[in-house]
Chain A
Amino acid sequence: MVHRTTRRGLLKGGLATGAALAAAGGARAEGDPAILELQEWNQFLGEGVDARPYGFPSEFEAHVKRRNVEWLTADPVSSVNFTPLHELDGIITPNGLCFERHHAGIAEIDPAEHRLMINGLVETELVFTMQDLLRFPRENRVYFLECAANSGMEWRGAQLNGCQFTHGMIHNVMYTGVPLRYLLETAGLKTNAKWLLPEGADASGMTRSVPIEKAMDDCLVAFKMNGEALRPEQGYPVRLVVPGWEGNMWVKWLRRIEVGDEPWHHREETSKYTDLLENGTARRFTWEMDAKSVITNPSPQAPILHDKGHTVLTGVAWSGRGTIPRVDVTLDGGKNWHQARMDGPSLSKSMHRFYYEFDWDGSPLLLQSRAHDSTGYVQPTKNELRAFRGENSIYHNNGIQTWYVDEKGIAENVEVS
């Protein structure tokens, strides 16, 4: 595979300068300067081990970053940004790239001054310090956290051009924390304890009502993500982990859990995080995130930049109800489907990675992925969802995404019949 004129080379030459073409031509005649010329890193010393006590990615990866969309919200303090899914692989999201959603900005909390209170329908109302929490038995679990509004801008049609923007309100990390049931059992639940109200220490005073069954099942009070302390923007020093359920419920900077016998119907479960249907009624307590997937490469921010031939298609899939044993992909807008290859750990309520390697003949593609979860649920099309819900639900859009890839390899967010 040498010295052939590629689509890329022609494109570059046509678009930019003759110099690029001349350099490439030179490489073809004599060999590759990357090989023929002595490189500085091959000759001179690099930085020592004392230069980077907490390392950052290569400067050549500086474009791999969270992005926001200014027009989405009134203000960047109660707002959201997006994980660059198109630049990532595997299933773990690096801590610094995990999308953020705040309602009153990032609370900067000294852990020595942080307290967690449990009050309400318990035998003993308790206060824990961070040091107390570190003395409970811990669990390590990998879970996705998806904002309920992920893909919400796409209900009315294709709008944002890139999976970072259409699907990037999600991250997937390993949490270390204390099972919430240990804290509740230490306080001693009264027999009429049916609901919890976790509350954040930030200025939004975030609260949600959580049924006791979920709290006693798999919720964690987590203080580590991917092995290190939570980032401030992810709730440092401690957050609630509510596996499989909408991200809003994962209360950050967790300072209090009230135990009660009825839900509270607070702002984030009445005005927000309720799903308006076409007939004017609205669903409330739509907690689980349904099975969903997206092809991350190729995608609008990650076009095909090589010639036709061997091509790797990859993406992520997840379900709030279990694992993802299978993802189907189509290259022709759903006429024909192929089972993708799942690779990496398959963990309940975690992201899964899939691949489909194919021989691209250079003709346009209409790419889609379709997740199947371990309950037998199959990811619906957007039009199937709209048939049940209309276009004003805002939240819980898990419809199948389509990318149109043209003969140049450029990808675009589209919808198809």
Chain B
Amino acid sequence: AAAQSFDLGRPATEAEVAAWDIDIRPDGMGLPEGSGDVWTGEELYVDLCASCHGDFGEARGRWPVLAGGDGTLTDDRPVKTIGSYWPYLSTVWDYVHRAMPFGQAQMLTDDEVYAITAYLLYLNYIVEDDFTLSHENFTEVRLPNEENFFLDDRAEAELAAFSDEVCMTDCKDAVEITARAAVVDVTPDDAAARERREAAAAGADAG
């Protein structure tokens, strides 16, 4: 179709774009000038992050685990962290800067984000404790799991198997129940809904 342009909207100013365009890419596009070291990062982390994510990135309660889990991706219960799973350091910088701390997003200065990012690398045994992260050395840091992601291949890997002719009659000899949710028993109850249903059915039956 031919392009359809409409004379609507107005040009964004440089300041407006700068205020909102905060995203970072793996190639470093978007990174602001600045730097921060591991020890500065630790102080910030202890003050602002550890109450949810734990002193060592191990997390409290169900909050996200940030460190550890190396080599667990083929385990029965993988531990997916920055060090064990995330492919790019840019994601750490971008996400901490845009969305953390949870409930007080975008309170961190650029230097503080560099420092916290450096500390998260340290917690994941990716850098030493004297490391300083800056916009200049940022793209030299690679995370361990970068190579283990690949583009969606369902069309090649699965589609043929899931497009077969279907069986309609006498498809199997026996059927056994192999798992039951009632045994697991973790579903919230809703007594009001159950009573409402039963009352409606009883009313109908009374006729």
Across-interface contacts of A271 in B (CB, < 8 A): 80, 82, 85-86, 91, 95
B207 lies within 8 A of A32 (CB): yes
Find A205's partner among B6, B80, B98, B170 (CB 8 Å cutoff). Answer: B98
Could you tell me if A125 and B192 are in contact, using CB atoms closer than 8 angstroms? no
A63 touches B196 (CB 8 A): yes
- Sampled A-B contacts (20; CB under 8 Å): A8-B201, A32-B207, A117-B12, A125-B17, A127-B11, A128-B9, A160-B186, A186-B7, A186-B8, A199-B23, A203-B103, A205-B99, A271-B85, A281-B150, A286-B152, A286-B154, A301-B193, A366-B177, A415-B177, A416-B175
A328-B166 contact given A24-B202, A125-B11, A333-B175, CB 8 Å threshold: yes
**Residue in contact with A412 in the complex, picked from B7, B8, B181, CB distance below 8 Å:** B181
- Binary B-proximity of A265-307 (CB < 8 A = 1, otherwise 0): 1110011001010111111111110100000000011110110
> What A residues does B174 contact at CB under 8 A?
417
Task: Output the least CB separation between B159 and chain A (Å).
Answer: 7
Separation in Å of the B100 CB from the closest CB of chain A? 10
A322 at the interface (CB under 8 A from B): no
Kindly state the separation between the CA atoms of A392 and B20 in the bound complex, as whole angstroms.
36
Query: Of A186, A197, A205, A370, which one neighbours B105 at CB under 8 angstroms?
Result: A205
CA distance A12 to B5 in the complex (A): 67
User: Could you tell me which residues of chain B, from 142 to 197, have a CB within 8 Å of some CB in chain A?
Assistant: 148-154, 157-159, 161-164, 166-182, 184, 186-188, 190, 192-193, 196-197
Chain B contacts for A283, CB-based, 8 A:
149-154
Cβ of A265 and Cβ of B3 under 8 Å apart? no
Name the CB-closest residue of B to A9: B205
Please tell me if the beta carbons of A290 and B154 are within 8 angstroms of each other in the complex: yes
Nearest Cβ in chain A — how far from B151, in angstroms?
A: 6
Residue from the list A285, A305, A376 in contact with B198, Cβ < 8 A? A305
**Which of B82-126 touch A at CB < 8 Å?**
82, 85-88, 90-91, 94-95, 98-99, 102-103, 105-106
In whole Å, how far is A165's beta carbon from the nearest beta carbon of chain B?
6
B27/A262 in contact, CB under 8 A: yes
Complex formed: what's the CA distance from A126 to B23 in Å?
A: 18
Give the 10 A-B CB pairs with smallest separation, nearest first.
A333-B175, A305-B201, A63-B193, A74-B62, A413-B181, A280-B73, A205-B98, A157-B179, A415-B179, A126-B9
Q: Which residues of A contact B180 (CB under 8 A)?
A: 158, 404, 412-414
Chain A residues with Cβ under 8 A from B33's Cβ?
none
With A60-B196, A265-B91, A285-B151 known as contacts, the answer to whether A384 contacts B182 (CB < 8 A) is no
In chain B, residues 35-92, which have Cβ atoms closer than 8 Å to a Cβ of chain A?
52, 61-64, 73-74, 78, 80, 82, 85-88, 90-91
Interchain nearest-CB distance for A27 vs B (Å): 4
Q: In the bound complex, how far is the Cα of B134 from the Cα of A10, in angstroms?
A: 75
Which residue of chain A lies nearest to B8 when distances are taken between CB atoms in the complex?
A132
CB distance B102 to A78 under 8 Å? yes
Is A378 in contact with B163, judged by CB distance below 8 angstroms? yes
Number of interface residues of A (CB under 8 A): 117
Q: Which of A75-122 contact B (CB under 8 A)?
A: 75, 77-78, 103-104, 117-120
Chain B positions near chain A (C-beta within 8 angstroms): 1, 3-12, 16-17, 20-27, 29, 52, 61-64, 73-74, 78, 80, 82, 85-88, 90-91, 94-95, 98-99, 102-103, 105-106, 148-154, 157-159, 161-164, 166-182, 184, 186-188, 190, 192-193, 196-198, 200-207
Chain B residues with CB below 8 A from A417, complex form: 174-176, 178
Contacts of A288 in B (CB 8 A): 152, 154
By beta carbon, the residue of chain B nearest A27 is B206
Residues of chain B with a CB closer than 8 A to A377's CB: 159, 162-163
B contact face: mostly helix, strand, loop, or mixed: loop
Return chain B residues, CB-CB under 8 Å to A119.
12, 17, 20-21
Interface string of A242-277 (1 = CB under 8 A from B): 000000000000011010101011110011001010
Q: How far is the CA of A158 from the CA of B183 in the complex (A)?
A: 9
Distance between A255 CB and nearest chain B CB, rounded to angstroms? 7
Contacts of B193 in A (CB 8 A): 63-64, 301
Q: Is the Cβ of A287 less than 8 Å from the Cβ of B152? A: yes
List residues of chain A with CB within 8 A of the CB of B148. Answer: 280-282
Contact of B88 among A67, A270, A380 (CB under 8 A): A270
Q: B188 to A159, Cβ gap below 8 A?
A: no
Complex CA distance for A304 and B206, rounded to whole angstroms: 17
- Minimum CB–CB distance from B177 to chain A (whole Å) comes to 5
- Which residue on A lies nearest to B84, using beta carbons? A280
Report if A20-B12 is in contact (Cβ < 8 Å); known contacts: A157-B179, A267-B91, A282-B148: no
Whether A2 touches B207, Cβ cut-off 8 Å, given contacts A124-B11, A265-B88, A417-B175, is yes
Tell me the complex Cα distance, A415–B183, Å: 12
Query: Contact between B206 and A265 (Cβ–Cβ < 8 Å)?
Result: no
Residue A141 CB within 8 A of the other chain: no
Docked-complex contact A265 and B102, CB < 8 angstroms: no
A186/B207 in contact, CB under 8 A? no
CB contacts (< 8 Å) of A136 on chain B: these are 6, 8
Q: Give CA–CA (A267, B201) in the complex, Å.
A: 49
Give which listed residue, A6, A9, A335, contacts B171 with CB less than 8 A. Answer: A335
A186 to B6, CA, bound (A): 5
* A62 on interface, CB distance cutoff 8 Å: yes
- A contact residues around B85 at 8 Å (CB): 271, 276, 282
In the complex, the answer to whether B149 meets A284 with C-beta atoms within 8 Å is yes
Q: A73-B62, A266-B23 are in contact. Are A159 and B99 (CB under 8 A)?
A: no
